[in-house]
Structure 1
Amino acid sequence: MSSNHQKKYSFSAISIKPKVATRFRKFSKEITHSHTDTLEAMMNFFDLNELSPNESLGANMKTLENSLKKRINALVAIIRDIEKNQTKPTNAMLELLFQENPKEEEAQEELFEFEQQELITENEELNHYRNRYEEVQQQFHSVKYDLEKIIDKTTYVKSSFGGGYLKLDLSKDEFENIKQKL
Structure 2
Amino acid sequence: MDNGYEKEGFAGLRIKTSVARKFRKFCKHYGKSQSLSLLDMILFFETNEISPSERFGETITSLKFQMKRRFNALIAIIKSIEKHQTEPTAFLMKQLFEVSAQQEAENHIDFTPQELITENEELEYYQNQFRDSQKRYLQLKSDTGLILKKLKYIRNNFGMGYYRLNLNKEDIQRIKNNLDHVHHDNSSEIR
- TM (norm. structure 2) is 0.49
Matching of residue 21 in structure 1 with residue 20 in structure 2: yes
Question: Does 1 or 2 have the higher relative contact order (CA < 8 Å, sep 6+)?
Answer: 2
Deviation string, structure 1 residues 87-116 (Cα, Å, up to 9, x no partner): 01111111211221158845xxxxxxxxxx
The corresponding residue for 2:187 is none
Counterpart of 2:73, as a letter, is A
The corresponding residue for 2:178 is none
Q: 1:71 to 1:33 in 2, by over 3 A?
A: closer
The corresponding residue for 1:72 is 71
Deviation at 1:25, TM superposition (A): 0.8
Secondary structure of 1:101's match?
Answer: helix
Q: Distance in 1 between matches of 2:67 and 2:5?
A: 45
Q: 1:102 to 1:15 in 2, by over 3 A?
A: same
Secondary structure of 2:52's match?
Answer: coil
The corresponding residue for 2:130 is none
Secondary structure of 2:8's match?
Answer: coil
Q: Which has the larger radius of gyration?
A: 2
Deviation at 1:11, TM superposition (A): 1.8
Counterpart of 1:10, as a letter, is G
The corresponding residue for 1:61 is 60
Identity rate, percent:
39
Q: Which range moved further: 27-36 or 66-75?
A: 27-36
Alignment of structure 1 residues 23-42 onto 2, 5 Å: 23-42=22-41
Aligned residues: 104
Q: Distance in 2 between matches of 1:71 and 1:45?
A: 28
Q: Distance in 2 between matches of 1:54 and 1:48?
A: 16
Alignment of structure 1 residues 67-106 onto 2, 5 Å: 67-99=66-98, 100-102=101-103, 105-106=106-107
Deviation at 1:6, TM superposition (A): 8.0
Deviation at 1:28, TM superposition (A): 1.1
Q: 1:54 to 1:103 in 2, by over 3 A?
A: closer
Q: Distance in 1 between matches of 2:102 and 2:10?
A: 91
Deviation string, structure 1 residues 40-86 (Cα, Å, up to 9, x no partner): 01111111122211111112222222111111101101101111121
Q: Distance in 2 between matches of 1:92 and 1:58?
A: 48
Q: 1:33 to 1:94 in 2, by over 3 A?
A: closer
Aligned alpha-carbon RMSD (Å): 2.6
Q: 1:103 to 1:31 in 2, by over 3 A?
A: closer
- TM (norm. structure 1) is 0.51
Q: Distance in 2 between matches of 1:87 and 1:19?
A: 63
Alignment of structure 1 residues 22-171 onto 2, 5 Å: 22-99=21-98, 100-102=101-103, 105-106=106-107
